[in-house]
Structure 1
Amino acid sequence: MNLPPLPDEAVVLGAHAADWRGAVREAGRALTRSGATRSDYADRMIAVIEEFGAYVVIAPGLALAHARPGRDVLHEGLAVVTLAEPVAFGHPHNDPVNVVLGLAVANAEEHVASVANLANVFNDAGAVGRLARARDAGEVRALLGIDGGAA
């Protein structure tokens, strides 16, 4: 499987977020720390959800925050944020969310490929729960099937 790298800086475990915007901001900060995006990418991810709704909540407990390729994307990147307390995004079936994936892509082809590869990981109904309970970045990478990735 071909997923973006997941350096330690892009993994945040047990984050506290007051609401879905805070959770998405955590993912945005992780993408920025990893060098994949500039800080304003988080604002674009939030704007996508405000415009199109909670479709980013792709499975029970799991949100895939992202935005279209843009100048604030330096290179393809992935972030994983687990939440100490789940937050509602407004999805009728998959709320509340306790795992937020942040995805940054530089072009449309990367977007399609990354989303398809992530979907394969989450075909396993227990994957979200295992991610939510992960204790370190290495365990997160193992659960996602990402080799290495440590910065």
Structure 2
Amino acid sequence: MMADIGTFLPDEAFLLDVHADDWKDAIRLAGQGLVNAGFTTDAYTDEMIATVEKMGPYIVIAPGLALAHSRPSDAVKSTGLSWVRLSDPVEFGNKANDPVSLVIGLAGRNENEHITVMSAIAAALVKPEKREQLANAKDATEIRAILEG
């Protein structure tokens, strides 16, 4: 998938089986993963929420899956991902793909890196069987192995 997914998805970026009250809360968790890993500042989390408020729930790209992101900005320190698996799915307002139980946060330092990482993650997640494996993975190491496989 990527040269080394561990670089883009370190252990600090995972929040597994956590509760979110609503879609904003789910994006805040994804933002927290990005901050924990040192990829972004808290300002980027606000930018991701603002993007959905402005553009609608287009970030729900597959059944049960949201790819939370915003445009590259000063709030992005380096390109990376966060991985949030919700204990209870939440509605984003996307009729085709709600409810969402996996929120991947994506921060791109520039347009090129943003698109490269987004394309790679989307390619890994288009297969329903892979999404199923990821939903049942026990930990960060297992998730990375599935993505790289």
What range is the shorter-chain TM-score in?
Answer: over 0.9
- Give 1:112 deviation, angstroms: 1.4
* Alignment match of 1:88 (pick from 84, 87, 91): 91
- Give 1:130 deviation, angstroms: 2.1
Structure with more helix by fraction? 2
* Alignment match of 1:22 (pick from 25, 31, 46): 25
- Give 1:128 deviation, angstroms: 2.2
Question: Structure 2 matches for 1:82-121, cutoff 5 A?
Answer: 82-121=85-124
> What is the root-mean-square deviation of aligned Cα atoms in Å?
1.3
Query: TM-score by structure 1 length?
Result: 0.92
- Mapped pair 1:56 → 2:47: no
Structure 1 unaligned runs (5+)? 147-151
Percent identity over the alignment is 47
Task: Please list every run of at least 4 consecutive aligned residues from structure 1 whose deviation after the TM superposition is greater than 3 angstroms.
Answer: none
Query: TM-score by structure 2 length?
Result: 0.93
**In structure 1, how many angstroms separate the alpha carbons of the residues matched to 2:145 and 2:123?**
14
- Mapped pair 1:141 → 2:144: yes
- Give 1:43 deviation, angstroms: 0.6
Question: Structure 2 matches for 1:28-43, cutoff 5 A?
Answer: 28-43=31-46
* Alignment match of 1:129 (pick from 132, 136, 139): 132
**In structure 2, how many angstroms separate the alpha carbons of the residues matched to 1:142 and 1:22?**
28
The residue that corresponds to 1:73 in the other structure is 76
* Alignment match of 1:11 (pick from 4, 9, 14): 14
Letter in 1 for 2:87: A
Equivalences, count: 146
Asked whether the equivalents of residues 99 and 131 of structure 1 are also in contact (C-alpha less than 8 Å), the reply is no
TM-superposition CA deviations, 1:59-92 (whole Å, max 9, x none): 0000000000111100001000000000000001
Asked whether the equivalents of residues 62 and 126 of structure 2 are also in contact (C-alpha less than 8 Å), the reply is no
